Amino acid sequence: MTSAAASRIKVGIVGGTGYTGVELLRLLSQHPYVDLTAITSRKEDGMPVSAMFPNLRGRVNISFQTPEKAALEQCDVVFFATPHGVAMNQAQHLLEHKVRIIDLAADFRLQDTQVFERWYKMPHACPSVLADSVYGLVELNRQKIADAQVIGNPGCYPTTVLLGLAPLLENGRKLVDTSNIIADCKSGVSGAGRKAEVSTLFSEASDNFKAYGVAGHRHHPEISEQLQRIAGAPVGLVFVPHLVPMIRGMFSTIYARILPEARDTDFQALFEQRYANEEFVDVMPAGSLPETRSVRASNHLRIAVHRPEGDDQLVILVAQDNLVKGASGQAVQNMNLMFGFPESAGLTHVAVLP
C-alpha cells in the first residue's frame, strides 16, 4: 500500500434508498479509507439512514438530505445509485469541482449514444463526458479506471457474461463460433430494485420461475458493445434473462461452440491463466459447479468451464452476487483503483453460507 492509500477520502452517495444504495452503505461503512459524508434523497430528507435500513443501526449515523444541502462538491468521489438519467445531468457540475463519479446506472455504460437513446428512451445529456468515461469492469479495464474521472459501473448481467467470455475472445483468439453464443442468465429478485411493483411482490415472485425480457433487454446492447471491443469484431449473442426466487445471486450459463481448429485447446488452463492474478475472479477446478450462495454478500465471482462429454460445446458457468460484484462491490473496487487503495480494501468479506 502506498502512502497515498492511507489518506482517507470523502464519499457521497446520490440516491441511497435502493438496494445498490444500501449495499454501498454496508460496504463503505466498513471500508478502512472512507468517510461517508453525504447521502441524498429528496423524498426522505431528514430521515436517518438507519431508520430505513435497520441493519445499519449504530454503524451509519448520517441522514438523507436533499441534494441542495448535501455539499457533494466537497466529496472526493460521488456514487450515483439512482435511476438511469440522473448522473448524466449532474456529472458536469461535479467534475468542475474535481469530484470523481461512479455511476451505478446506465448513463455511462454505452458509448454509442444512439443505442443508449433507443434502449433508455432519453437523449444523452452529456456526450462529451461520456466519451471520456470508462467502463468500470476492473478485470478488463484496470489501467484506464485508475485514471478515470467518470466510471460507468457495469450492469449485473454484463459482468458475468463478459468475464465468462473474455478469455475466449481476447487477443484475436479464434476459439469459438462467435456468430451464435448463448447466454442463459438467471437473477435474484433484488436485481429488480426496491421499487414497489406487483411483479416482484413476495406472493408473485416466490415459488416461481420465469423468463423475462426475451424480446429485448437493456443489458443486451451493453454486452454486445463490450464483446465487440474485446473481440475486435461483432459477436452474435442470444441473451435471455430469468427471474429466480432468491434475494441475491446471479448465475449465467453460457454456451459457445468450439471451432474445429480449436478442439485441442485446454480451456481450463486458458481461464486459469487469464484470471490467475485476479483477486475477485475464481476459476474453479475442472468439474466444479459454482453456486450463487458461495458468493453471497461477497465481491467474488466464480467461473467453471465445462465441455460436456468432451464434445465441441463449451458451457461456461458464472456465479456472482448481483448486488456486490454485479453492482456496489464492483463500484467500490473501481473506487479503490481510482484512489490508489489496495484493490480489495473494504471488500474482503467472506461470503455468507448458509
- Asked if 18 and 26 count as a contact pair (C-beta separation under 8 A), the reply is no
The three-class DSSP label of residue 351 is coil
Single residue of 62, 163, 175, 284 touching a second copy by CB under 8 A: 284
Check 75, 126, 156, 185 and give the catalytic one.
Answer: 156
Single residue of 24, 36, 39, 56 touching a second copy by CB under 8 A: 56
Chain CA centroid to CA 45, Å? 28
Minimal distance in Å, beta carbon 320 to a second copy? 11
Q: Which of 102, 285, 254, 242 is nearest to 163 (CA)?
A: 254
Residue 207 sits in the site that holds a second copy (CB under 8 A): yes
CB atoms within 10 A of CB 309: 7
Residue 69 sits in the site that holds a second copy (CB under 8 A): no
Q: How far apart are CA 280 and CA 294, in angstroms?
A: 13
Taking CA 314 as the corner, what is the angle to CA 321 and CA 224, rounded to the nearest 5 degrees?
60
Residue 144 vs 257, nearer CB to a second copy: 257
Single residue of 15, 16, 19, 148 touching a second copy by CB under 8 A: 19
Single residue of 114, 143, 203, 277 touching a second copy by CB under 8 A: 203
Single residue of 293, 340, 342, 343 touching a second copy by CB under 8 A: 293
156: annotated active-site residue: yes
Residue 19 vs 339, nearer CB to a second copy: 19
DSSP classification of residue 61:
-
Residue 204 sits in the site that holds a second copy (CB under 8 A): yes
Single residue of 132, 197, 263, 266 touching a second copy by CB under 8 A: 197
Q: How far apart are CA 88 and CA 72, in angstroms?
A: 15
Single residue of 97, 180, 232, 234 touching a second copy by CB under 8 A: 180
Cβ-proximal residues to 219 (8 Å cutoff; 6+ apart), any chain:
155, 156, 157, 158, 239, 241
Minimal distance in Å, beta carbon 324 to a second copy? 10
Single residue of 1, 122, 201, 269 touching a second copy by CB under 8 A: 201
Minimal distance in Å, beta carbon 266 to a second copy? 17
CB atoms within 10 A of CB 155: 24
Residue 208 sits in the site that holds a second copy (CB under 8 A): yes
Residue 272 vs 291, nearer CB to a second copy: 291
- Asked if 250 and 160 count as a contact pair (C-beta separation under 8 A), the reply is yes
CA distances from 304 to 22, 286, 324 (A): 30, 7, 19
Residue 173 vs 257, nearer CB to a second copy: 257
Residue 117 vs 212, nearer CB to a second copy: 212
Residues 137-156 that bind a second copy (CB under 8 A): none
Residue 186 sits in the site that holds a second copy (CB under 8 A): yes
Residue 329 sits in the site that holds a second copy (CB under 8 A): no
Helices 156-169, 219-231: axis angle to 10 degrees equals: 20
Residue 100 vs 325, nearer CB to a second copy: 325
The three-class DSSP label of residue 208 is coil
Residue 61 sits in the site that holds a second copy (CB under 8 A): no
| AA identity, residue 151 | I
Residue 22 vs 94, nearer CB to a second copy: 22
Residues 219-278 that bind a second copy (CB under 8 A): 238, 240, 242, 244-249, 251, 253, 255, 257
Single residue of 24, 162, 295, 345 touching a second copy by CB under 8 A: 295
Q: Is beta strand 250-257 parallel, antiparallel or unpaired with respect to 281-283?
A: unpaired
Cβ-proximal residues to 90 (8 Å cutoff; 6+ apart), any chain:
14, 67, 80
Half-sphere exposure of 70 (CA within 13 A, CB side): 28
Q: How far apart are CA 259 and CA 263, in angstroms?
A: 7
Which neighbouring-strand residues pair with 306?
315
Minimal distance in Å, beta carbon 17 to a second copy? 10
Residue 212 sits in the site that holds a second copy (CB under 8 A): yes
Active site amino acids: 156
